[in-house]
Chain A
Amino acid sequence: QSALTQPASVSGSPGQSITISCTGTSSDVGGYNFVSWYQQHPGKAPKLMIYDVSNRPSGVSNRFSGSKSGNTASLTISGLQAEDEADYYCSSYTSRSIVVFGGGTKLTVL
């Protein structure tokens, strides 16, 4: 059982927007603005998409955005494209000074 809870799957049509949630506790997501999101295509290493809740690394499309409310963080992808189909993982810094992951969400672009 993962430390952070994500939906197993989400789907959307090209051009639409989707949101993936990541629920933790006050000891992780709710206690720090240190949530990150990673994209992983099959057979590839994860790629950082969002850090510190809502910041995008250089080179990541502005179609990806992040937010947080209480113990739940969210990743929103707007203008869905076929290449966005992948697994997405959230992570959070915790009160134990380690980083934990969510269980992952499979995004299907219909």
Chain B
Amino acid sequence: EVQLVESGGGSVQPGGSLRLSCAASGFRFSSYSMNWVRQAPGKGLEWVSYISSRSSAIYYADSMKGRFTISRDDAKNSLYLQMNSLRAEDTAVYYCARLWNDRTFDYWGQGTLVTVSS
């Protein structure tokens, strides 16, 4: 059974940093592209970042460029999102999602809440 379990969320002041983790199991993690998708309270889904298998390609949404860094450790079956210079508008539930055939999010984690507030 495919499982994605996020952790690392919490409350942080504006300008602060957080590192999110996503532990994957039930599939060959190294073979799949992975993504972070977020959802602000009461709002829609927003794609955050993409990392290909073997980390050969990495993309970010424009509002996250230069502040967020996606990475993966295939030996640990884990995906990460380092978030720096956090802003109030980054407050959201952050989901880890597996990307199938580079175009379909077929499995999602349960999400981890990040709250940026003074």
Contact = CB atoms under 8 A, between A and B. Distances in A.
A110 B62 CA distance: 39
Contacts, number: 62
Interface stretch (A9-17, A62-70, A71-79, A98-106): A98-106
A46 B45 contact: yes
Q: How large is the interface on B (under 10, 10 to 19, 20 to 34, 35 or more residues)?
A: 20 to 34
15 contacts: A40-B45, A45-B95, A45-B109, A45-B110, A46-B45, A46-B95, A52-B104, A91-B45, A91-B104, A93-B102, A97-B57, A97-B59, A99-B35, A100-B47, A104-B45
Given A45-B95, A89-B45, A98 B59 contact: yes
B100 to A, nearest CB: 8
Contacts of A99: 35, 47, 50, 99, 103-105
Interface in B62-89: none
Interface of B: 35, 37, 44-47, 50, 57, 59, 95, 99-100, 102-106, 108-111
Contacts of B44: 2, 87, 89, 101-104
Contacts of A101: 37, 44-47
Q: Is the interface of B mostly helix, strand, loop or mixed?
A: strand
B47 A46 contact: no
Contacts of A34: 103-104
A98 B46 CA distance: 12
Contacts of A48: 104-106
Contacts of A38: 45, 105
A57 B50 contact: no
A100 B35 CA distance: 12
A57 B111 contact: no
A23 interface: no
A54 interface: no
A21 interface: no
Contacts of B35: 99
A97 to B, nearest CB: 7
